Amino acid sequence: MMTQLTRLSQAFLDLDKSKAELMLNPESEDTNIGALNFSHIHQQINQVQNKFDKIKARFSRKTLNIAVIGRARQGKSRFLQSLTGLSSDVIPDGNRQHCTGVKSHIFHRAGIETHAEVIFHTEQSFLEEVIAPYYNKLTLGPAPTTIDQFLAQKLDNSPTGATRGAQFEHLLKYHLHCREYRDLLRHATTLRITREQIPEYVAQHSLNDPDLVYNNYMAVREVRIYCEFPNIQTENIALIDMPGLGDTGIGDESRLIRSLSEEVDAIVFIRMPKPTGDHWADVDVQLYDTACESLPEIPLEQWSFMVLNRYQDDSNTKNCMDLWNTIQKKHIQTAETIIANCADAEEAQERVLRKVLDYLANHMVALDQKYMEAIQQIFGELKNSCRKEISVARGAVTKTQGSSDELRVFDPLFDEYWENLTNNLENLLEELRAKRSDDDINFKQAIDASLNNARQDTAIPALEDARRFSIASGGVEKAYTDYLHTIRTRLTVNDHPPIAHFR
């Protein structure tokens, strides 16, 4: 498919070349050849090619990727800690000033020691993706094209205004510490590190020593952490820790959109109402709209969830309910709105993650189908645009015989190409549908093992054991409550069927 798109792009490049040649023909003075412009067709073809890249990435992923996003200080990191079992030195939670903007993929791998892979920026990607947006937004002149140029510049003219001034301070921090992290930009693309080394690349300060400052994170593009999630049987789950939004860093939103469009199957928004009173603010709506832009082919309400983060002491529960009751009035639409204490591992897993997984198990096929239908529609629009431009080009060269002959040759060739393109796309859809119904041996074995475990280990005590325990516990009701919790936990750990693959 990509080959055919490349051929189509080349065909219009050939038309551009023919246009340039015809312009040298004296007979072209009485034609409209000079008005022909195929630049928007090239742009449209590039957009379709980008869509195909995303489709390929979506169907090639071996994990179900769930992005956790939210403004800073909403409990996003505590939620991730609850699901992964990782501590605040690996996933900074903002209790002190050691939060960071590094994006992290956290993969569940049973039976392994926690470790990570650090992917660094190159000098070019660092300058283009991190530094250049500050120069463009703050109108500081041409952005530096080398690290030496960046170091040589004197950034001493702070823009006026509180927001722009704070944004300028972010840039100054990159500039001030550049000599400390620049060697990492020349490092091998990926570096494997131990769990103990992770804070040096994701945090700004040491958790145990606030005076110990880290600056390596400035050179990091993303971190991939591999660990064993507690009480999770499914191998193919990855959580994506998106940088906290809402501060004065520049470029966060564009990086968010790119990540959501290329890497994510579902979004979990985290919002923690203040116990003193709260409401849906403009920044909440803006964050939702930003996420909507990432994958317009599928409505966001069909692949996102809103989690209202409840305090352990229930001091903000009433305000959680207020936001739950008013979310529709702000036109923030998600598959479900959930109230849960994100710092509680059991609630995070049972009330949030399990609901997300169950929803995706039931809807992922339909979501993928909708995505493919949207891509087909884009192809149809490209077809109409191409035919329109060919018609305009044909009319422009009616007085130039040689070019008319060339265009008459092109038209049937394009018809042949388009027939092959649409047929191949349908064949691809049929192939993907057929694979969805194939038996998954690993999934069947996991289900059988779960059922066998449940039959062999019911966790229900023998009558005599229950009697002795009730006496030791101080009564039947107390023993019943304790045993019920034990049985529920045992069933949750042993009998939750893994989701082997959603596609």
DSSP 285-296: HHHHHHHHHH-T
| pLDDT value at residue 493 | 59
| pLDDT value at residue 501 | 39
Query: Does residue 258 have a pLDDT over 60?
Result: yes
Nearest one of 85, 109, 66, 63 to 356, comparing CA atoms: 66
Nearest one of 225, 244, 259 to 85, comparing CA atoms: 225
pLDDT band at 480 (very low <50, low <70, confident <90, very high): confident
Q: Quick one: what percent of the chain has pLDDT higher than 70?
A: 86
Lowest average pLDDT, out of 106-115, 131-140, 148-157, 413-422, goes to 413-422
Query: Does residue 342 have a pLDDT over 90?
Result: yes
| pLDDT value at residue 119 | 94
As a whole number, the mean pLDDT across the chain is 83
Query: Does residue 6 have a pLDDT over 60?
Result: yes
| pLDDT value at residue 397 | 61
Query: Does residue 344 have a pLDDT over 80?
Result: yes
| Residues pairing with 104 in the sheet | 223, 241
The CA–CA distances, whole Å, from 488 to 110, 270, 473, 495 equal 22, 27, 19, 10
| pLDDT value at residue 223 | 94
Residues 256-281: what's their mean pLDDT?
90
- CA–CA separation, 265 and 262 (whole Å): 9
| Residues pairing with 224 in the sheet | 105, 117
| 180: exposed, middle or buried (Cβ count in 10 Å: 0-12, 13-18, 19+) | middle
| pLDDT value at residue 257 | 79
pLDDT band at 14 (very low <50, low <70, confident <90, very high): confident
| 462: exposed, middle or buried (Cβ count in 10 Å: 0-12, 13-18, 19+) | exposed
Helices 401-436, 2-22: axis angle to 10 degrees equals 170
pTM of the model: 0.71
| pLDDT value at residue 316 | 96
pLDDT band at 498 (very low <50, low <70, confident <90, very high): very low
Cβ-based neighbours of 285, under 8 Å, separated by 6 or more? 330, 331, 332
Lowest average pLDDT, out of 16-20, 51-55, 74-78, 155-159, goes to 16-20
Nearest one of 203, 186, 194, 138 to 164, comparing CA atoms: 138
Q: Between 297 and 437, where is the model more confident? A: 297
CB-CB contact of 245 with 139 (8 Å): no
pLDDT band at 29 (very low <50, low <70, confident <90, very high): low
Going across the sheet that includes 103-108, the strands are: 190-194, 115-120, 220-227, 103-108, 237-241, 64-69, 266-271, 304-309, 336-340
Query: Does residue 277 have a pLDDT over 80?
Result: yes
CB-CB contact of 262 with 105 (8 Å): no
Residues 51-70: what's their mean pLDDT?
85
Task: Spell out the domain ranges in the chain.
Answer: 2-57+371-436, 441-495
